[in-house]
Structure 1
Amino acid sequence: MNTCGLCGTDTGTAHLCKRDATLLAERLADLPTLYDELVHCLVPRRYGWGEIVSTKAAAGPCSPLNEDVLDEMASGHMAAVVHSWRVDVQRVRWPQHTPPPPTGLAADCRWLAMELDWIAEHYPAARDLAREVRALEAQARAVVGDPVPQRKVVGQCIATVDDQGTVCGAEITHRAGESRLVCRSCRCVYEGQNDLLLLLHHQPTA
């Protein structure tokens, strides 16, 4: 009998409970957006790029750039950490495969999210992965300051999850700027007008 590495809940044979696995999925989805926010933080809202260029040589101790953001961007710390976890998960699950080359933060986050069911159930270091991703999110939010747009519930997943026709029914959320809907429980993707109309048509009535 195992307990969740983060909250101590009994999890049977798993290393993470469903709640903390879901939170990990949400953080993996948020990291690329937070990284983009870090880019925007390089230029404070009261400045434009032209103003920064024109005042670059001006005397004075204050720089218009956020040095904490510069340090984070220059080091590539977030991307390097997430990629190292992708490499290790693949090493444990498929030891015969060669390590994956760096493909960028967003791609590594998507890859880990697609493997979350296996990670939560079988990956011995799932707790450490979840803790480090949580720390990366907290560090990024501390620099960004303003929170990224919040996710809103748009409906329930209508995908079937077994041969008996059981409907997933998990809440589907969306954040401004996203071009598709992804169920964080069964990973079903709704993309394009037909998928969205089908999702709307089969929503349960109040």
Structure 2
Amino acid sequence: MITCELCGEETSGRYLCERHAVALAKGLAALPDLHAELAAHLVPARRGMAEYTAAAPPGPRSPLNEDVLDLAGPHGHMAAVVESWREDVQRVRWPERSAPPRTGLAAACRWLGMEVEWIAARYPAAGDLAREVWELERAALSIVGDPAPQRQRLGTCVAVDGEGVVCGAVITRLPGQSRVQCRWCSYVYESERDWLLLLHFQAKEAA
């Protein structure tokens, strides 16, 4: 008889009970936002026009936070752990396929999130995967604070495609985040001009 690897509850042959499967899905969904929030702790706080534009303060900058760099840097522990789990789940589920390319933390979390039901029912290492996801979440929260900051709605994306169509997807950011990528069209808001354009067109819509 297989029971939940985390709580021992009888699960009719599943490796995770329903409660812990849901918790795993929530943890995977939380990691990309926590990763983005951690990036704000790598360098000193920035100031900006209307809280959107990013301008580095004058004078010497504080040293990088090495704990944050180890966890959430370009080749940090958080991305490496989640991407390795994504590779292993695919290896077990589709052994005939080659290893997937590493495309970053957010993509790996999204992929694993879509496979949570299969993981809970069929993946023998489901408990270890869940534990590592929650350890990453706790490590991030120990730096950014618990509860994690909530995303702020900035308005709708004003990027225009090659046919002159405005994207219009909702743009959100975490407090202090100075670089935001539209999740629909992938346009990046980063420069002062980007933020001013976004603010300008939101104001025109409101008028």
TM-score range, shorter chain: 0.5 to 0.7
Does the 8 Å CA contact 2:27/2:133 hold for their aligned counterparts?
yes
Match of 2:17 in 1: 17
Match of 1:50 in 2: 56
| C-alpha RMSD over aligned residues | 2.5
Matched to 2:86, the amino acid is: R
Deviations 1:51-102 (A, max 9, x none): 2x5224xxxxxx3543321232334111111011111111111000000010
Does the 8 Å CA contact 1:119/1:126 hold for their aligned counterparts?
yes
CA distance in 1: counterparts of 2:9 and 2:129, whole angstroms: 17
Alignment of 1:1-206 (within 5 A): 1-45=1-45, 50-51=56-57, 54-56=59-61, 63=62, 65-74=64-73, 75-149=75-149, 177=172
Does the 8 Å CA contact 2:38/2:140 hold for their aligned counterparts?
yes
- After superposing the two structures, state which structure 1 stretch, 88-97 or 71-80, moved more: 71-80
CA distance in 2: counterparts of 1:120 and 1:93, whole angstroms: 12
Point out where structure 1 has 5 or more consecutive residues left out of the alignment. 57-62, 152-175, 179-190, 192-206
Superposition deviation, residue 31 in structure 1: 0.2
Match of 2:167 in 1: none
Deviations 1:97-133 (A, max 9, x none): 0000101111110110111111000100000000010
CA distance in 2: counterparts of 1:41 and 1:82, whole angstroms: 21
Does the 8 Å CA contact 1:82/1:133 hold for their aligned counterparts?
yes
SS at match of 1:3: coil
Matched to 1:93, the amino acid is: R
SS at match of 2:11: strand
Equivalenced residue count is 148
CA distance in 1: counterparts of 2:26 and 2:92, whole angstroms: 23
Superposition deviation, residue 46 in structure 1: 7.3
Superposition deviation, residue 2 in structure 1: 1.4
Report % sequence identity: 59
TM-score (norm 2): 0.64
Does the 8 Å CA contact 2:34/2:140 hold for their aligned counterparts?
yes
